Amino acid sequence: MSLSVDTLVDLPREPRLSRSTQGATLLGLIAILFWSTSVGVTRSTIEFLGRTGAPAVMFTLSALLLLPTRRPLRELPRRYLWLGAALFVGYELCFVLALGFARTRHEAIEVGMVNYLWPSLTVLCSAIAGGQRLNALMLGGLALAFTGVVTASSPPEGLSLARFFHNAASNPLAYGLAFVGAIVWALYSTCTRYMAEGRNALWFFMALSAVGFWVVHALNPDRPPMQVSAHVVIQVVLASTAVTLAYTLWNLGVLRGNIHLLGLAANGTPVMSALFASLLLSAPLPPVFWGGAALVALGSLVAGIGARRAAGRTDRGA
């Protein structure tokens, strides 16, 4: 459940904003807000329906909501269709299961912060795929983002690399899945940029994700019974609707809105995600965590600046 900022790099700057552009930009900003709730609402739903049952139900409903947007698969580039599907489904499995394997709500928020290494990793993957040299800003941005993850996992008294590795070692499945998910989404963002040819297979990817989660749920011997109630049904509907709107509005924003403004706003997602998760899960976070979240966001911004400078040099060299 992440937005893809690779499409925000190297696109022409708009000379002025028409009303339609302003409206599309607003929709893109609203999408970022919806995405920022993903950690909190997903973890909360998992506590009622289980780590495999919750995403299976959520993605099924999301696929149904996206059904009117489907297009014939034969119209989509084959490489994008199958490689994109594998990476999209792989990411969703990693991200949601990482939240499910987190032992506490606080740990789920920490694991969610590990996931937000993907913007910096996307910058690096996109630069490598585009034949650009990695510069100090790109590598520094990734290092800054990783420092932010470590800081977010530190005790209230200050930065502790040992504490981060202790947390990761005590629950390697949750932290490992979150980190692998960050890499997979960076690869997805990079590959789809070159293979999608402006097409959108979101409905197909969402439907495959639902199938994947139902398979995992069926194979899970420890799946608890789903606690179905009016409250749970409402929560699942709201969570699925938020995810569906996030993807849909983001696509509209990227296609018709102010790309550069959306890219800048997207860098603040780690902080907003932590804020929403803290409120939705009733899990107060210490000041050191907020400092870490800010560093993750700043690292993404620095890496993005480095990518634009590298792209500028490439264009001048051409």
In order, the DSSP letters of 206-258 are HHHHHHHHHHHHHH-TTPPPP---HHHHHHHHHHHHHHHHHHHHHHHHHHHS-
pLDDT digits (tens, 9 = 90+) for 107-142: 999 898 998 888 888 888 888 877 778 889 889 988
pLDDT digits (tens, 9 = 90+) for 257-303: 776 677 677 778 888 888 888 888 888 888 888 988 999 989 888 88
Asked if residue 255 has pLDDT above 70, the reply is no
Asked if residue 90 has pLDDT above 90, the reply is yes
Cβ neighbours around 221 below 10 Å, total:
4
249, 34 in Cβ contact below 8 A? yes
**Better-scored residue on pLDDT, 310 or 104:** 104
Cβ neighbours around 152 below 10 Å, total:
27
Considering the entire predicted model, what is its pTM?
Answer: 0.84
What's the rounded mean pLDDT across residues 34-52? 88
Instruction: Give the residue among 91, 143, 184, 192 at the shortest CA–CA distance from 300.
Output: 143
pLDDT digits (tens, 9 = 90+) for 191-206: 877 787 777 788 999 9
pLDDT digits (tens, 9 = 90+) for 6-20: 444 443 344 444 567
45, 54 in Cβ contact below 8 A? yes
116, 145 in Cβ contact below 8 A? yes
165, 108 in Cβ contact below 8 A? no
Percent with pLDDT over 90 in the chain: 25
pLDDT digits (tens, 9 = 90+) for 137-181: 889 988 999 998 888 887 776 667 888 888 899 999 999 999 999
Q: For the chain, give the mean pLDDT.
A: 84
The Cα–Cα gap between 193 and 160 comes to 37
What's the rounded mean pLDDT across residues 82-102? 93
What is the predicted pLDDT for the residue at 2?
A: 62
What is the predicted pLDDT for the residue at 175?
A: 94
